[in-house]
Amino acid sequence: MSHFPALRLRRGRQSAWMRDLLAEHRLHPSDLVWPLFVVDGDKEEQPIGTLPGVSRWSIDLLVERAREAHDAGIKLVALFPNTPADRRSDDGKEALNADNLVCRAIAAIKDAVPDIGVMADVALDPYTSHGHDGLLADDGSVDNDRTVAILAQQAIVQARAGADIVAPSDMMDGRIGAIREVLEENGHTNTAIMAYSAKYASAFYGPFREAVGSGDRLKGDKRGYQMDFRNSAEALREIEQDLDEGADFVMVKPGLAYLDIIARARDAFEAPIFAYSTSGEYAMFEAAAATGAGERDAMIMETLLAFKRAGCTGILTYHALEIARKLA
Ligand code: PBG
């Protein structure tokens, strides 16, 4: 028996350069996707109470944010509209208006900053008076197939406006196939689909709903279509189905409490996987930092790196711009 440890893993931790040399995972600005909220108006910035540091921007200012993101090395922004109240309805038909807020925002960014990717959410919740992601049936549930037909039209409208990626976040069955088909039929062969495949009914979406104005309107909850957080094998079935139907990339959402799902998906599939570090997660970091519970930036960096370690291709985070600038 030797009297020294044969394996001294501390040898690799002895200096900063050694640790950097041996790092297995790294975070890069291009790993970060920045969600942005858009509102009608001119030179309008509306801070969001439950998301300190995040605002809704009118299109003119949104374009400046997109330019900053591009300059910081971010490759993709995800847009979410706060639809004016008088344009919300039971059937969410404003989603199909080619001149709606998000379509104008997409076009403005693609015009001013053509080299940044723009992603648009496919779901009806920013447009419905009841805050659900689809059309309601008589019994109050969301009608799957009628909703899918509208979502396919919504995706076309967004693709026409210039969206590079459409991101169905609605969790209806069969929507990826339906959207892929209409995109192809309408010549949008290059419009990619990022499927919110494993999207859980979560308590971590609250501030987002304030931001898009759907929270106070929401009747009931979304457990009839978003996943039950007690399930994990089901997430793999959702991902497999979406890939089979033509999704280019898939997403797991929320992020932090679902690293097991990301890791399992990474083992099971070769496709790019994104995580959405949601509004509620962002709010947790800000609240913890405000009490002095930890070093804010270090907590955020550690968590973002954990997404990479779990196997993510990229991470949607409201901290994206700030962190991208720090990484530069
Ligand atoms: C809507 C949508 C939601 C989020 C992204 N798209 C909320 C919801 O499903 O109620 C949540 C994002 C976040 O909390 O940051 N389809």
| Distance from C-alpha of 87 to C-alpha of 188, rounded to nearest angstrom | 27
CA-nearest residue, atom 14 of ligand 1: 205
| Residue 1 pLDDT | 62
* Distance in Å, CA 293 to ligand 1 centroid: 27
Q: Which positions are catalytic?
A: 199, 253
Ligand 1 atom closest to the Cα of residue 218 is: 10
* Distance in Å, CA 12 to ligand 1 centroid: 42
Going from the first residue of the chain to its last (328 residues), give the mean pLDDT of each consecutive group of 10, the final group possibly shorter. Answer: 88 98 98 98 97 98 98 98 97 98 98 98 97 96 97 98 98 98 98 98 97 93 97 98 98 98 98 98 96 94 98 98 96
How many residues in total does the chain contain?
328
| Distance from C-alpha of 39 to C-alpha of 47, rounded to nearest angstrom | 11
Fold exhibited by the domain 25-327: TIM Barrel (3.20.20)
The ipTM of this complex is 0.97
pTM (2 decimals)?
0.97
Q: Which residues line ligand 1 (CB under 6 A)?
A: 121, 123, 125, 133, 169-170, 205, 208-209, 222, 278-280
Torsional sign, CA 251, 257, 259, 265: negative
Q: Kindly report, residue by residue over 139-153, the tens digit of the pLDDT.
A: 999 999 999 999 999
For the chain, the structural domain boundaries read 25-327
CA-nearest residue, atom 16 of ligand 1: 169
End-to-end CA distance of the chain: 49
Question: Nearest Cα to 269, choosing from 302, 311, 307, 309?
Answer: 311
